[in-house]
Amino acid sequence: MSTPETISANAVPGIARGHRLQFEPAQACHVLLYPEGMITLNDSAAEILQRCDGQRSVQAICDDLSAAFDGADVTTDVHEFLALAASHGWIVFDRV
């Protein structure tokens, strides 16, 4: 599936095949592992990617994060990160 230029609120992101999100105790942070290496994630990126389960829509991810962070408006940040993650092949979208 291709990366959408504009991510729809109905799009359903999931971690791309060959990638695995996990907490790395030695580094005390989440990382994204893939065959060529590893990406160390900041807390915000980890919070978003943990919700990219192939079941929740982008809107549901935004709503969940907003609720988890006292109603903060996270929509722009989530969309920007998902676009970046998709451009690097870290996530794929089920629906657009």
Domain-wise residue ranges, the chain: 13-90
Residue-wise pLDDT tens digits, 6-21: 799 999 999 999 999 9
pTM for this prediction: 0.90
Contact 50, 38 (CB under 8 A): no
Mean pLDDT of all residues in the chain?
93
Pick the CATH number of 13-90 from 1.20.140.10, 3.40.605.10, 3.40.50.800, 1.10.10.1150: 1.10.10.1150
For residues 48-64, one letter each, b for 16 or more C-beta atoms within 10 angstroms of the residue's C-beta and e for the rest, the string is bbbbbeeebbbeebbeb
